[in-house]
Amino acid sequence: MNIHLQGTAASPGIAIAKVYRLQAAAQEPLRITVADPAAEILRLREAVKQAKADIELIRVQTLERLGERKAEIFEAHLFLLDDPELIEAAEERITEDKINAETAVHEVATGIAELLRSMDDELLRERAADVGDVSGRVISKLVGRQHSALSELSEEAILVAADLTPSDTAQLDLNYVRGFITEIGSRTSHSAIMARSLELPAVVGMGLQAKRIETGMTVILDAVLGSVIVEPTEQELTDYRERKRAYEENVARMRSFVDRPSLSADGHEVELAANIGSVEDLAKVLENGADGIGLFRTEFLYMGRSSLPTEEEQFTVYRHVLEKMNGKRVVIRTLDIGGDKELPYMDLPKESNPFLGQRAIRLCLNQDELFRVQLRALLRASAYGKLAIMFPMIAVVDELGAAKRIVEEERVKLEAASIAVSDEIEIGIMIEIPAAALNAGALAREADFFSIGTNDLIQYTMAADRMNESVAYLYQPHHPSILRLVDMVIQAAQRNGRWTGMCGEMAGDADAIPLLLGLGLHEFSMSASSILPARELISRLSREECASLARQALDLGSQAEVLSLVRQHQSRSEH
């Protein structure tokens, strides 16, 4: 039975092995009416105590194996067991409904998880898995079953499961586990993040098709392409053994670029920086030899909680990142909420078109104290590294001027209180609105740098939502109109002695890099995993030749023509 299946590549790599399918525990415990709710609450508290001991052991093991950031996942699990919304709510359910503890925990946890899964924000949706992991462990203690069957492994295997909890993933025995496949999940789930830290190939989000894969079957797991071949032919096995060897050789070759400067073949130096969305991403940034952080999204500090983060909470995070980057530039973007990102604890008006409404800098200028708290935390953290502050969604010079005035007011207050603030902070803006690109000359006189946010710039320029499949064909990063806007921004910055970066997906695109290098882009900011391939590619490119290539591309009429031009150039360069 030879089957080809497709999912989402969550952690790159290629593995070939037999399958071990993890059987999910019964999802819903038997509902029982109890005569003594007080005794049932004591059962629950004992189970919580045992679950905490288990999680603390996993936390310590993860700390030793993967470091502080990954261990923080289990600190969050311990906090969940102290959260009144979970355990106290379960105790109330036992008292009021006179039901057994395992049913109470299951019902309360299911309600919380369903609420999280209904959120617009992907990271919040993924946190439903944490609630399931913690509640499942408590229920396992109550019913007296082992939480996971992973200890049964005694030979090399690729795991297949409906899902892997964070604690399952953290405890994988790498002597036997060669990779995993799950029915649900995404690249942002904790199991995917753990897999990348363990350098374990993983394909997630397979859906019901994964149920066709059974224990004992041989599979090829291609976590580069996100594909799975069940019961491969001899020819497929031969081909993939060669692909696996070539992939691992290429990974080793890329690793040789970790400590190299980001230089073109003709000696032109650029910066290859990383985009991060949480402190957890920092380990990969350092591991891949990034020249800095070109985009630190701060929204994670505000999400998945019931109130705004304090100044002290934010300061602690910003200081940690700046210290870890050890003098390399860290560009921290101020809060970019609105559009597809909402904060449930903020009573913001519903808008008919939130992407064109009060979001990002517009919201921050309107919510003055929220903005000032973040800026104070940033200014205080500036004493611990090379900080650049970046404002998102700037459309007009007046917005930049207003934001800069607030920064200066908060600086004066801090210095009056004898709190150290760096005098070398750069203040820049994201260029993601066509009006800002067209007026880049005036903005360059007020900003220290630009960072082109191509994801939104392309959407607004082409009037096409890239998540809408019916118009996704119009989302064209290599279209000459986009390249002309990029060129306009870079030229305006250079005339005013400013540098320009790019922090959208385009910055790490192999077809776009030669064009961007030729247009004079100074900083390319991308996912940490893209840095080494980008550095290797740039080392083979001549900046002078790329400048000629870019000028030709600006005169073309379609994305297809641009891509054809770039690929012809790359083909000639390789031969």
Residue 479 annotated to the active site: no
Residue 575 annotated to the active site: no
The two three-digit tokens of residue 558, written as one number: 């379609």
259 assigned to a ligand binding site: no
Cα–Cα separations (whole angstroms), residue 193 to 12, 189, 197, 301, 410: 11, 6, 6, 18, 37
Q: Which residues contact 10 (CB under 8 A, 6 or more apart)?
A: 185, 186, 187, 189, 191, 192, 195, 196, 202, 203, 204, 205, 223
266 assigned to a ligand binding site: no
Number of other residues whose CB lies within 10 A of the CB of residue 417: 7
Q: Which residues contact 345 (CB under 8 A, 6 or more apart)?
A: 305, 306, 307, 308
The residue from 77, 106, 147, 190 that is catalytic is 190
Instruction: Identify which of 73, 202, 51 has the alpha carbon closest to the alpha carbon of residue 136.
Output: 51
Q: How many CA atoms lie within 13 A of 180 on its CB side?
A: 34
188 membership: H or E segment, kind and range: none
The residue to which tokens 């990348």 are assigned: 196
Q: Which residues contact 36 (CB under 8 A, 6 or more apart)?
A: none
* The amino acid at 565: L
Report the DSSP beta bridge partners of residue 526. 274
196 assigned to a ligand binding site: no
What single-letter DSSP state applies at residue 349? P
> What Rg value do the Cα atoms of the chain yield, rounded?
26
The two three-digit tokens of residue 250, written as one number: 């290429």
83 assigned to a ligand binding site: no
CB 8 within 8 A of CB 186: yes
Q: What is the rounded CA–CA span in Å between residue 76 and residue 278?
A: 15
Find how far residue 308's CA is from the centre of its chain.
21
What's the first-to-final CA gap in the chain, in angstroms? 42
Backbone φ, ψ for residue 344 (5° rounding): -60, -25
**Sign of dihedral through CA atoms 317, 310, 401, 365?**
positive
The residue from 503, 522, 546, 569 that is catalytic is 503
Q: How many CA atoms lie within 13 A of 403 on its CB side?
A: 31
DSSP structure string for 353-371: SGGGSS-THHHHHHSHHHH
HEC per residue, 15-50 = EEEEEEECCCCCCCCCCCECCCHHHHHHHHHHHHHH
Q: What is the rounded CA–CA span in Å between residue 140 and residue 105?
A: 11
Q: What is the rounded CA–CA span in Å between residue 538 and residue 536?
A: 6
466 assigned to a ligand binding site: yes
Q: What is the rounded CA–CA span in Å between residue 473 and residue 455?
A: 14
Pairing of strands 3-6, 227-230: antiparallel
456 assigned to a ligand binding site: yes
* The amino acid at 233: T
Residues contributing to the annotated binding site: 297, 333, 432, 455-456, 466
Residues contributing to the annotated binding site for Mg(2+): 432, 456
Residues belonging to the active site = 190, 503
Residues contributing to the annotated binding site for phosphoenolpyruvate: 297, 333, 455-456, 466
